[in-house]
Amino acid sequence: MHTQDNQQNTEIEKIREQFNYGPYPRVALEDSPKERYEGLYFHNLITAYYLRYGRVPETKGTMILDAGCGSGYSSLVLAEANPGAKIIGIDLSEKSVELAQQRLTYHGFDAEFYAIPLEEIGNLGLEFDYINCDEVLYLLPDPVAGLQAMRSVLKPQGLIRTNLHSSYQRAPYYRSQALFKLMGLMDDSPKEFEEEAVIETMNALRNTARLRVETWNGKFTPETPPEKVKEVLAMNHLFVGDRGFTIPELFGLLEEADLEFISMTNWRGWNVVDLFEDGDNLPALWSMGLAAASIADQLHIYELINPIHRLLDFYCGHPGEPAVSIDEWDDADWPTAIVHLHPQLRTEAMKQDLIRCIQQAQPFEISRNVPKPAMGKALLDPTRAACLLPLWEGKQTVAAIAQRYRQIRPIDPVTLEPVSEEQAFEIVKDLLNFLIQFLYILLERAA
Per-residue model confidence as pLDDT tens digits over 236-257: 999 999 999 999 999 999 999 9
Q: What is the chain's mean pLDDT, rounded?
A: 94
Inter-axis angle of helices 421-436 and 398-408, to 10 degrees? 120
Look at residue 263 and tell me whether its pLDDT is greater than 70: yes
Check residue 162 and give its pLDDT: 98
Look at residue 321 and tell me whether its pLDDT is greater than 90: no
Check residue 322 and give its pLDDT: 79
pLDDT band at 5; cut points 50, 70, 90: low
Check residue 374 and give its pLDDT: 62
Fold of 2-168+243-317: Rossmann fold (3.40.50)
Residue 265 contacts residue 42 (beta carbons within 8 Å): yes
Tell me the C-alpha distance between 123 and 133, whole Å: 17
Q: How far is CA 387 from CA 121, 265, 432, in A?
A: 47, 29, 11
Tell me the C-alpha distance between 118 and 195, whole Å: 28
Q: Can you give the residue ranges of every domain in the chain?
A: 2-168+243-317, 171-234, 327-444
Look at residue 2 and tell me whether its pLDDT is greater than 70: no
Average pLDDT of span 295-311: 97
pLDDT band at 447; cut points 50, 70, 90: confident
Average pLDDT of span 67-80: 97
Q: How far is CA 42 from CA 37, 78, 261, 437, in A?
A: 9, 9, 16, 15
Check residue 65 and give its pLDDT: 98
Residue 302 contacts residue 276 (beta carbons within 8 Å): no
Check residue 222 and give its pLDDT: 86
pLDDT band at 349; cut points 50, 70, 90: very high
Average pLDDT of span 88-99: 96
Look at residue 324 and tell me whether its pLDDT is greater than 60: yes
DSSP state of 54: S
Residue 340 contacts residue 395 (beta carbons within 8 Å): yes
Helical (H) or strand (E) element with 161: strand 154-166
Check residue 3 and give its pLDDT: 58
Most confident listed range (169-173, 221-225, 412-416): 169-173
Look at residue 1 and tell me whether its pLDDT is greater than 60: no
* Single-letter residue type at 31: D
Average pLDDT of span 109-133: 97
Tell me the C-alpha distance between 424 and 110, whole Å: 47
Share of the chain above pLDDT 90, in %: 86
C-alpha distance across the termini of the chain, in Å: 55
